Amino acid sequence: MTKKLTIFIFSFLFLQTAFAQSKAWDRHATFGKGMNLSWLENYWNGTVENGFMDYLNMNSVASKHHDLEVMKEMGINTLRLPVCFDVWEDGEYPYEIDMPQYFMALDSILEWSEVLGFNVLIEYHHGSLAENNLEEETERIIAIWKQVVERYGDRDPEKVFFEIYNEAHDIEFSDWQNVLEIIVDSLRAFDEDQTFIVGGGDYNSVRGLSNLIPLEDDNIIYTFHYYEPFLFTHQGAEWVGAEVSTIGVPYPYIGSEMPDRNSLTDDTWGENAYNDYSKHGNLDTLRSWVADAKLWSEVNNRPVFCGEFGSYYKANDASRCRYTKAIRAIMECNDMPWCYWEWDQGFSLFDGAVPGLDGLSDCMLDAWEIPPRDTTQNNVLLNDPCRIYPNPTENILYVERTDLDVPMVLNICDPSGRLIRGMTLCVGLNEINISDLPTGIYGLLFLDMDGDRLFGRKLVKH
């Protein structure tokens, strides 16, 4: 091979890698804060006799408009919409959707979302794939998706996304890989523009993602779900079982607040998780587990986002707020958008209250960084591009930035101006542990990466 030809081939390969996925990267960059609106996947509201096909009461559609408006007020950009398409048809070839009226529910959500400016991820929830039905189930999933794509494939691809399958499990990684490639290839033939969202096996875990080989299709955003530490996030979750029956587990681990272990967890995974919680129930450990997803994204040059995280309502509110903040901080520092699970059911951020800003506890308002509202101006949100809170604080300080889309430096100084600590702040939410600083007043000095001063603030440490 001549030298010129070699250079040409290498340049071509380099450019291909550099530009691969650029559409998906650009769209991924618009996701921001997201919310799972669980509702259209609640098949259990149907009857067994009807194969759950009668699960959706169309009268429930209208109230969702208000929900979307509240989400907008909360600064949410992306709506993830789990749908149990699995029961929209009766399982008979050629798998034609028998409940076409259900599409009207989706139509309404899409119309309202368009007006409100949301991205919408239409997601295939509660599929029936298993090792023993791979071939026919794959065919069925494709047939169902084709009908969905036929209806929504001409929507704005910058706004409407198709998430192929939720939490594949009990399938070998290699089989899942195979099925996924078949589904994506078949659908791509019908839809050139829409970005598909796909995750790995093992319930969309980080491990599942790490075992996934990126698909050849270059218009894909990859996803994972994050519910670690499971002992905390799923405490008391009836559908999980005895392993998670210890209730009152705090986040982070606080020895004096730990409940006694429920004896139902004896000899189960839940006993070990309880014993390990002092090591695992903290930000650094959670961050280290997410690092594998980030690594996968970087090594493969593929955009990744966290499609579900959250905690069950049986955990205490203060812990749920701290957990929300911690996961947000991890994802945002890793440039991974996220969707909270979920709006108004068991993992709801409203903790049983009617969805609305008034239904959020103070700590949840804080965890969502819902900017202070001006009560004299009809509750208009006040826009502070760099929020620093709580202030005064004792242990943790949050700095949320939406001002510049580049890192900046924060120097913490004592009253005489002596530098105590310096760090780089990422765009989005930063969590800073200041528990080791003596009580007192500090100066917070924000600098750009060249060391030039941007602005300063005062911090009171209790």
Question: Which residues contribute to the site for ligand BGC (CB under 6 A)?
Answer: 125, 166-167, 308, 341, 346-347
| C-alpha torsion sign, points 304, 30, 190, 126 | positive
**Whose Cβ is closer to ligand BGC: residue 208's or residue 443's?**
208
Q: Which is nearer to ligand BGC, 194 or 311 (CB)?
A: 311
Shortest distance, position 308 Cβ to ligand BGC, whole Å: 6
Q: Residue 25 or 230: which CB sits closer to ligand BGC?
A: 230
Q: How far is the CB of 71 from ligand BGC (least distance, A)?
A: 19
Nearer to ligand BGC, 249 or 445 (CB): 249
Nearest distance in Å: CB 54, ligand BGC: 20
Looking at the Cβ atoms of 341 and 368, the one nearer to ligand BGC is: 341
Our CB check for ligand BGC shows the closer of 39 and 152 to be 39
What's the closest the beta carbon of residue 397 comes to ligand BGC, in angstroms? 30
Name which of 281 and 346 has its Cβ closer to ligand BGC. Answer: 346
CB of 227 to ligand BGC, least distance (A): 6
Nearer to ligand BGC, 81 or 410 (CB): 81
The least distance separating ligand BGC from the CB of residue 19, rounded to whole angstroms, comes to 33
Least distance to ligand BGC from the beta carbon of 314, Å?
Answer: 12
Nearest approach, Cβ of 229 to ligand BGC (angstroms)?
Answer: 13
